[in-house]
Amino acid sequence: MRLQKETMSDIIIRKAAAKDVPKIAEIEKASIPQPWSEAAFADALTQENAVTLVAEADGEIAGFITGVFLFDNADIYSVATSEQHRKKGIGGKLLTGFFEALPSEVEAVGLEVRESNSAAISLYEKHGFERVGLRKNFYEQPRENAVLYTKQFSK
């Protein structure tokens, strides 16, 4: 893994620990209509092929990212920041941390995002993701299309 604990503008990106799960779940619940449970996040921390990172700002969890890798591909499942920490560059720092935490064999990262989530789409495109498809009516509460994105790493 390439991840190193680093401080960027008073934001620390680090591997998530079990003690972080309640705050991660709280941020997720406030950010998306169908959130993961605490148990699901706790389970992700035990998976060898999973990466879950948190962003700390002023000693509190300000955001997180979670996903998995298998052979040469990775998928991001969720990225979120707490409302009071949005628009501070934390999402970008979490993405960069996720990329660095992946094994060097990973050649591509995929994700899906609600079609109406223009802030997330802008973030992903800024970090090199390209739109590769659409899943019609994928999301519920409300029903909405999912836009599929992939980022390729150069060798």
**Residue ranges covered by each domain of the chain:** 6-152
Residues recorded for the chain: 155
Band (155; pLDDT cuts 50, 70, 90): low
Close Cβ partners of 73 (under 8 Å, ≥ 6 residues apart): 106, 107, 108, 109, 110
* 26 token code pair: 């709280």
56, 105, 107, 112: which one is catalytic?
Answer: 112
Asked about 124 being catalytic, the answer comes back as: yes
Asked about 112 being catalytic, the answer comes back as: yes
Name the DSSP class of 153: P
pLDDT at position 5, please?
46
What backbone torsions phi and psi does residue 86 show, to the nearest 5 degrees?
A: -75, 155
26, 48, 60, 124: which one is catalytic?
Answer: 124
pLDDT in tens, 59-105: 899 999 999 999 999 999 999 999 999 888 999 999 999 999 999 99
pLDDT at 131 over 50: yes
Q: Longest Cα pair distance anywhere in the chain, in angstroms?
A: 40
pLDDT at position 67, please?
97
Superfamily grouping for domain 6-152: Gcn5-related N-acetyltransferase (GNAT) (3.40.630.30)
pLDDT at position 147, please?
97
pLDDT in tens, 2-21: 444 444 458 999 999 999 99
Task: Write down the mean pLDDT value for the chain.
Answer: 92
pLDDT at position 7, please?
42
pLDDT in tens, 29-41: 999 888 999 999 9
